[in-house]
Amino acid sequence: MAASGSERVAMELCKGINGLDKVVLRDPRGSTAEVYLYGAHVTSWKNDQGEELLFVSSKAIFKPPKAIRGGIPICFPQFGSHGSLEQHGFARNRFWSIDTDPPPFPTNSKSFIDLILKPSEEDMQKWPNSYEFRLRVALGTGGDLMLTSRIRNTNADGKPFTFTFAYHTYFSVSDISEVRVECLETLDYLDNLQNKERFTEQGDALTFESEVDKIYLSTPTKIAILDHEKKRTFVLRKDGLPDAGKLDILVNLVKFEGSSKEQGSFYPLGVNKIA
């Protein structure tokens, strides 16, 4: 069936850096997003003014098997080094396929792409579990970016498995001293700079004066990131994994490429067991 003109505008499959396939999503009001099939990796999200909202390193290598540095990497089936697999698992280093028969997803957007990842023989040797990871990336009518993941256990024997998961999002911000994060006050967190010791957040909002690497526990469904210099607010909304014991937020502040420009990374973490 031929796509209509509006559908072609809403979603376009084309070539990106180094000839890698990517999907460009467009909203009628001018917002855009770009998703590479390699890693199901969102590398760009622009508002209707054409301003880039995500950070991608100038040293990012769009060449497999290296992961793309920046944007929104998918961490699965392992987050960080918390397990026997490579850092952040292997989903971000795999070529995903366009899902031609996706399940119903709760979105009214006409600008979206459905992707799917299944384990290869090599993956099964590293992590002996069969699964289907379905991801929808959608661009809302107001320019909102929505990522929805569904992970299904397809083990022939029905054996359950445990995994960790994250959208490792890099937001583009200005001077980090002008950035504050709200809705984390009074929450407990693990401080990775102090051997994961547990503390309780003090103050009305999180601000940055030095390196920060924390995992916030049992976070609310909405978190706000305020960039005073750019007069911009990111609002993160989440709907937790259905069987998760907790869905955390890790806030990490790092210096990129040895420059004075610092970059904040805020991403939801999930721990789940699938039957």
As beta bridge partners, residue 54 has 171
Beta strands 222-227 and 197-200: pairing type?
A: unpaired
Nearest to 10 by CA among 141, 137, 111: 111
Q: Is 87 annotated as a binding residue?
A: yes
Yes or no: say if 226 and 176 are a contact pair by the CB < 8 Å rule: no
CA 120 to each of CA 37, 131, 209, 248: distance values in angstroms, whole numbers, following the listed order: 16, 10, 44, 29
Amino acid at 274: I
Question: Does residue 176 sit in helix, strand or coil?
Answer: helix
Q: Is 134 annotated as a binding residue?
A: no
Nearest to 54 by CA among 271, 266, 275, 270: 266
Question: Does residue 240 sit in helix, strand or coil?
Answer: coil
**What is the C-alpha to C-alpha distance for residues 158 and 70, in angstroms, rounded to an integer?**
36
Q: Is 136 annotated as a binding residue?
A: no
Question: Does residue 126 sit in helix, strand or coil?
Answer: helix
Question: Does residue 201 sit in helix, strand or coil?
Answer: coil
Yes or no: say if 111 and 105 are a contact pair by the CB < 8 Å rule: no
Q: Which residues are annotated as a binding site?
A: 69, 87, 92
Q: Which residues are annotated as a binding site for substrate?
A: 69, 87, 92
